[in-house]
Amino acid sequence: MIFTAIAYHELGDHTKAIESYGKALTIWKKTYGEEHTDVAMRLDNMGNVYQDEKKYSKALEYHKKALQIREKHLPVGHSDVGVSHNNAVNAYVCLDENDSALKHYELALKANNKSLHSCHAHAIMTMENMGSIYEDQCNYGKAQYYYRETGNIFRRTLPANYSDLRNMEKILLVFHLD
């Protein structure tokens, strides 16, 4: 059932994806209970489909439910908690609620720093995205901080000709941060 939902989602058939995820969610709830972390994963999956449909409020509703379950049942700093925070961020950004997005980015970064290496892609993307929101808010000091941190990690971990590093170097040049 879940693989069918994933396939429909990948094919862009959101109606069938939601239907299949809904059936899977019902089965997971009956099997494991309402607040199992696997139920949270299905809720996040459904939120992602709603996100793709541009139903951002609905997506946020599902991501918040998933986050509540994960925060309740997983240890502080678990990477899945960070994933749920990042999923909520995606909806908040689309709803133009940048302050809420930043709050969840910070919480995702804390979770990622406890459970993942600081050079992990999730942590790096979170910092770069935080820089972008701060830049959009004209808070250039904080934008610089997050861009600089991202650039430093990229320089330590990526080959000089890697496209992500080159793109970050361009951003840092705009801010005169070499």
DSSP symbol at 64: H
- Residue 111 domain-assigned (yes or no): no
- Residue 58 domain-assigned (yes or no): no
Q: Computed from CA positions of residues 39, 40, 45, 50, in that sequence, does the dihedral angle turn out positive or negative?
A: positive
Tell me which residue range forms the domain holding 128. 118-178
| DSSP notation for 42-93 | HHHHHHHHHHHTT-HHHHHHHHHHHHHHHHHHS-TT-HHHHHHHHHHHHHHH
Residue pLDDT tens, the chain, 178 long: 788 989 999 999 999 999 999 999 999 999 999 999 999 999 999 999 999 999 999 999 999 999 999 999 999 888 899 889 999 999 999 999 999 999 999 998 888 777 766 666 777 888 888 999 999 999 999 998 998 888 888 777 766 676 665 666 667 666 655 4
- Residue 15 domain-assigned (yes or no): no
- Residue 159 domain-assigned (yes or no): yes
- Residue 128 domain-assigned (yes or no): yes
- Residue 106 domain-assigned (yes or no): no
Q: Could you give the number of structural domains in the chain?
A: 1
- Residue 66 domain-assigned (yes or no): no
- Residue 108 domain-assigned (yes or no): no
pTM, whole model, 2 decimals? Answer: 0.82
